Amino acid sequence: METWNKLYSSTIESFLSKKKESQQVIIGFNVNIDKIIRIGTDTLRGLKSKNLNGTLLQNKIPTDINSIESFILCLLNAIEGGKADEKLIVAKDVCDWIENTFVIDEIKIGGQAGIMANLLTKLELADVLLSLPVYDESFSGLLHDKINISFDSKGVCLVQSITKLQDFENKRLIHYIFEFDKGIYHLAASNSIECPRQNRFIASHDTVNSLLEIKNCFKKYSLENIQKYSIAIVSGFHLVNPETQDNTTHYDIIAPIISMFKEWKKLNPDLKIHIEFAATRDKRLIEIIFQRLLPLVNSIGLNEQELLSILETTNVTTYKKLRNEMSSINLFEGILNIWVKYPHLRIHLHYLGYYLTISSRLHEKYAIKRKQALILSAVFAAVKAKNSSICSIVEINKVPCSISKSGYDEIERLITFLRLEYKSIDEIEDGIVSTDSFTVVGIPTIIVKSAQQLVGVGDTISVLALLLEN
């Protein structure tokens, strides 16, 4: 472990001493307003619903939130599992109930696209073009003023800061973020549940992002200027919900984006497209993403719950194995299952204590660069978790580099497994293993006790790991 501690320190030192090259990056498609609600161990004691006791006895977790009872069930399931989860609210009265029942602790920019755009602009690592679904005036106080937003000026598509836009729309996109810590949570009727780890649950009422709305001017501007962009980072597909519009299917919503990706790639074959996943249990939606989008993109990022949701639809045997034991070996076999089907992909999995990537076999120099990028993303994620935000690059020099013991042990266990499983194997250095066909990079990460903010930590990990390895 001492070797990893030293490697973290030397990687940070090297990164801070080098001149940073700003890349041209496109980011879309989900941007919204996050309302943060911090759940204490007694917060749920006073919950009132028509059938709370009956709700607690249910085992089947609903796909969407269509009642107060289904919301409570989803929230309690996330707390009891200590897992990150996200559900769509399809009944507006649930939003009214949440607003009247809980205290809103903080309001921030939300949505993976919004969070990642703010982050890269703050750190001055990228010139960002952001696809903004609506021009809501509330965004102007939450999005960084250097983010480029496309707009129409007398038939010509230009870009400028949202703070300079004149015409705003009144379409609020609210996502409720329930953050909880490890501990015993007391409920009504003398019931209680135990949470094994700190995490968050997201309940979203969002009819705009559920249709993946994209401004025509964004499409036009991106196509006219795609040659200057090196990376496109896209997200929000988990929010797709055809029920919010009559006579619409999942594919109807995603088809225009598939067409746009194909046009981007035709005009700029070197463009790297990365999809950042989020939790969804809609099997039809997962099938479309898996079959239609993955062949068009270069990279995907996901956590263990998002991996489970994919495997539940695409490989039940691997899903059951991983659900029963969340080990590094089973997580590796999960992402390997996806990679075997799409060997052009770079797959990045972030889990509490360690990160893993798999891709086609890498040159030694590039594999080491990927490992360094993962380390830096881990440090930035620690800053985000510890301080709730990242304001500048130099903040990474203030994080104690104390490596996760459990993460270290899991990476060692995985490397031992790979040695036994694959006869032809090349170990470049700690955490990097190549076979004849693929390269695995794994690192133990930093664990932050009493984290201030967990929303956006996964997005921070994925976007920075990708950007810093290029």
Q: Which of 68-72, 190-194, 233-237, 250-254 has the lowest mean pLDDT?
A: 190-194
pLDDT at position 54 is 55
| C-alpha 213 chain-centroid distance | 19
Predicted TM-score (pTM) of this structure: 0.87
Where do runs of H (alpha helix) occur along 325-396?
Answer: 328-341, 364-387
Q: Which residue has the higher pLDDT, 428 or 412?
A: 412
pLDDT top residue among 431 and 45: 431
Average pLDDT, the chain: 90
Q: What does the alpha-carbon distance between residue 443 and residue 463 come to, in Å, rounded to a whole number?
A: 17
CA distances from 363 to 207, 368, 415 (A): 45, 9, 19
CA pair distance 355, 174, nearest whole angstrom: 30
* Dihedral sign of CA atoms 154, 157, 161, 163 in order: positive
CA atoms of 305 and 323, how far apart (whole Å) = 9
pLDDT confidence of residue 123: 92
**What is the rounded distance in angstroms from the CA atom of residue 260 to the CA atom of residue 243?**
24
> Residue 37 is which amino acid?
I
Give the pairing type, strands 156-160 and 148-153.
Answer: antiparallel
Is the pLDDT higher at 63 or at 112?
Answer: 112
pLDDT at 50: 47
Residues β-bridged to residue 272: 231
Q: Is the pLDDT of residue 336 over 50?
A: yes
Range in 176-180, 210-214, 456-460, 464-468 with the lowest mean pLDDT: 456-460
354 and 442 Cβ atoms separated by less than 8 Å: yes
Would strands 106-110 and 32-39 be described as parallel, antiparallel, or unpaired? Answer: antiparallel
Contact 94, 205 (CB under 8 A): yes
pLDDT tens for residues 342-400? 999 999 999 989 999 999 999 999 999 999 999 999 999 988 888 878 888 988 888 77
Q: Which long-range contacts (CB under 8 A, 24 or more apart) does 422-425 make?
A: none
What are 262-316's pLDDT values in tens digits? 999 999 999 999 999 988 878 899 999 999 999 999 999 999 999 999 999 999 9
Return the C-alpha torsion angle 262, 234, 447, 345, nearest 10. -10
Gap between the Cα atoms of 399 and 420, Å rounded: 36
Q: Cα 77 from chain centroid? A: 20
Question: Which has the minimum average pLDDT: 10-14, 59-63, 80-84, 86-90?
Answer: 59-63
Q: Judging by DSSP bridges, how do beta strands 183-186 and 126-130 pair with one another?
A: unpaired
Residue 448 has a pLDDT of: 79
CB atoms within 10 A of CB 325: 9
Average pLDDT in the 126-148 region? 91
265 vs 167, more confident:
265
Taking alpha carbons only, the member of 38, 3, 359 closest to residue 181 is 38
Least confident of 51-60, 166-175, 361-370, 413-422: 51-60
Q: Which residue ranges form the domains of the chain, and what is each CATH number?
A: 2-34+109-165+207-469 (3.40.1190.20), 35-108+171-205 (3.30.1110.20)
| pLDDT value of residue 183 | 94
Number of alpha helices (DSSP H) and beta strands (DSSP E) in the chain: 14, 19
Instruction: State the pLDDT confidence band at 451, using cuts at 50, 70 and 90.
Output: low
Checking if the pLDDT of 330 tops 90, the result is yes
